[in-house]
Amino acid sequence: MNVIVSLTISSIAVVVLVLIPLIGVWGLHLHYLFGVVIPYLAAATFFVGIVYRVVDWAKSPVPFRIPSTCGQQKTMPWVKRTYVDYLDNPDSTLGTVLRMVLEILCFRSLFRNTKLQFGSGEKIKYASAKWLWLGAIVFHYAFLTVLIRHLWLFTEPVPFFVQLLNKLDGFLQIFVPTIYLSGFVLGAAVTYLLLRRLFIPQVRYVSLPADYFPLLLIIGMAFTGILMRYLLKVDMIKVKELTLGLVRFSPRVPDGIGVIFYIHLFLVSSLFAYFPFSKLVHMAGVFLSPTRNLSNNSRAVRHINPWNYPVKVHTYQAYEDEFREKMKAAGLPVEKE
């Protein structure tokens, strides 16, 4: 799909997602629908969807180990292996767990990213390319920080680690209310990820609305959140009454929360509901990547294909027993007289 078409489709989708709560809350006063019903439906879709996807994956057989060739596999004792080989091509459970930890917390696969470069003359080289890794890791950790900090709306008393994170995130103590860095870092990182898709021709070529839409949606979430906190202002005491009501299952909607809150909430609800159906579900999928979560022990352990049906065998011995007389009569050689 052409980049203009893709971008247009996904931008329109996000604009519509902003207009729906704007009209619904501002024009039609459907506060309960947008403050309670839709968030609950979105959360339910998220949980059921994730469970469904994971169970579905779990039903697919992974008959063989997939040794990725990033490191030397365990073999003869005189073939040297370094710690990199243990991590990238593990043969033990511990090694595999460590590989998963590196993958999930540090995005190791992305870190290995290389780029083909033309040197002088005919020479080419593969140089390491870390910008994608940097953008991705900054984005994910900023998102996680914002998400954990949002627990201040869903807990009472607020747990110490949320308060600590708020303090750390606002350590610059500039502006009132204090600037939380993570919100702006999130916005910057996701904008970088979008620009990268738009400006690198090869990446643009493989990008679809399904790639642009989540980026634009997250930009919208960060933008409305920042707008609400620093400029438009809503009554946070009432917001907390609503959010606490949601997680304590006695929902109520106090009057007088600004419409910007409902827009932010609707965008977030859309993301949660969209999550299990989209590529975003890699949050759960990364744990089930067969090239990462299986130890490469094919040489040491026999893995039997689970869909092998029992093959009926007729050995030569049995064959000869059955036809010995006929074979002899036809002059064929037999093993046992």
Partner 1 sequence: MYDGGKIITGLIIGIGLIAFPIWLNAGKAVKKADPKLPAKEKQCVEPTQYMLTNHMEVLDLWRDSVVRLGDRYFISFDGKKYRVSLQNTCMSAECHPKKKEFCDECHDYMGIEPYCWDCHIEKGEKK
| 141 makes contact with partner 1 (CB under 8 A) | no
| 237 makes contact with partner 1 (CB under 8 A) | yes
Give the binding range for partner 1 (CB under 8 A) out of 20-28, 109-117, 246-254, 308-316.
246-254
The count of chain residues that interact with ligand HEC, using the rule CB under 6 A, is: 6
**Least distance between ligand HEM and beta carbon 104 (Å):** 19
d(CA 114, CA 13): 34
**Least distance between ligand HEC and beta carbon 207 (Å):** 36
Residue found by looking up tokens 């009209």 in the block: 23
Q: What is the CA radius of gyration of the chain?
A: 29
Give the binding range for ligand HEC (CB under 6 A) out of 36-44, 107-115, 175-183, 319-327.
175-183
Footprint of partner 1 on 59-118 (CB under 8 A)? 59-62
Position closest to ligand HEC via CB: 177
Amino acid identity of 159? P
Under 8 Å between Cβ of 253 and 31: yes
**Least distance between ligand HEC and beta carbon 247 (Å):** 18
Question: 204 or 240: whose CB is closer to ligand HEC?
Answer: 240
Amino acid identity of 268? V
Backbone angles phi, psi at 124, to 5 degrees: -120, 155
Under 8 Å between Cβ of 187 and 219: yes
d(CA 66, CA 296): 7
**Least distance between partner 1 and beta carbon 248 (Å):** 5
Under 8 Å between Cβ of 36 and 282: no
Footprint of partner 1 on 117-136 (CB under 8 A)? none
Question: 7 or 162: whose CB is closer to ligand HEM?
Answer: 162
Locate all alpha helices (DSSP H) within the chain, ordered by sequence.
3-21, 31-32, 38-58, 83-88, 93-106, 108-111, 131-149, 160-169, 181-199, 201-205, 209-226, 236-247, 259-274, 282-285, 290-293, 316-330
Residue found by looking up tokens 């207009």 in the block: 19
| 236 makes contact with ligand HEC (CB under 6 A) | yes
d(CA 131, CA 133): 5
Write out the residues near partner 1 by the rule CB under 8 A.
47, 50-51, 54-55, 57-62, 151-152, 154-159, 162-163, 166-167, 173, 176-178, 233-237, 240-241, 244-245, 247-248, 250, 252, 256, 284, 287-288, 306
Write out the residues near ligand HEM by the rule CB under 6 A.
143, 146-147, 149-150, 153, 180, 182-183, 186, 221-222, 225-226, 228-229, 236, 239, 243, 261, 264-265, 268, 271
Write out the residues near ligand HEC by the rule CB under 6 A.
176-178, 229, 236-237
